[in-house]
Amino acid sequence: MNLQLSNNEKIVHAVLEKSSKPLKAYSILFEIQKKGIKSPTQVYRALDRLIEIGKVHKIKSKNSYIACKNEKCINKSSTTFLICNLCEKITEIEEETISKHFSSICNQLSSKYSNHSLEIFGTCVSCNKNS
């Protein structure tokens, strides 16, 4: 797989890496219009490719995107996120035990496990301290 990023992919990825919160595609577009990317289609194409190569994750419940913090992540790997209900901080969990558990459940149901995308909601440590 060619991991060389296009200019648009580099720009979109840089915006997501700088952000402390997940961003929607149109928020990304607003941030990068000065850099020559004018169309939502350009942003979505870049996001699709970045997801495919494991550099970005889509947070489905928020319809938004974050840069992957796990350098070993690949597009077919399973992802688990903790999402704070108060500040919306997202933490990617690197834990094989969850995948093994889901695989076991699938085996019990005569199914074959391939991957998962799990979003767990709660309150982060910082917000817990402030409440």
For 2-50, write each residue's pLDDT tens digit. Answer: 579 999 999 999 999 999 889 999 999 999 998 888 999 999 999 999 9
- Tens of pLDDT, residues 42-93: 999 999 999 988 899 999 999 999 998 877 665 556 888 999 999 989 988 8
The residues with which 67 forms a beta bridge, in sequence order, are 56
On whether the 1-70 domain is CATH 1.20.950.20, my answer is no
**What is the value of pTM for the model shown?**
0.83
Contact yes or no for 115/77 (Cβ under 8 A): yes
Domain ranges in the chain?
1-70, 78-131
The CATH code that applies to domain 78-131 is 3.30.1490.190
Contact yes or no for 1/25 (Cβ under 8 A): no
CA distance 131 to 32: 36
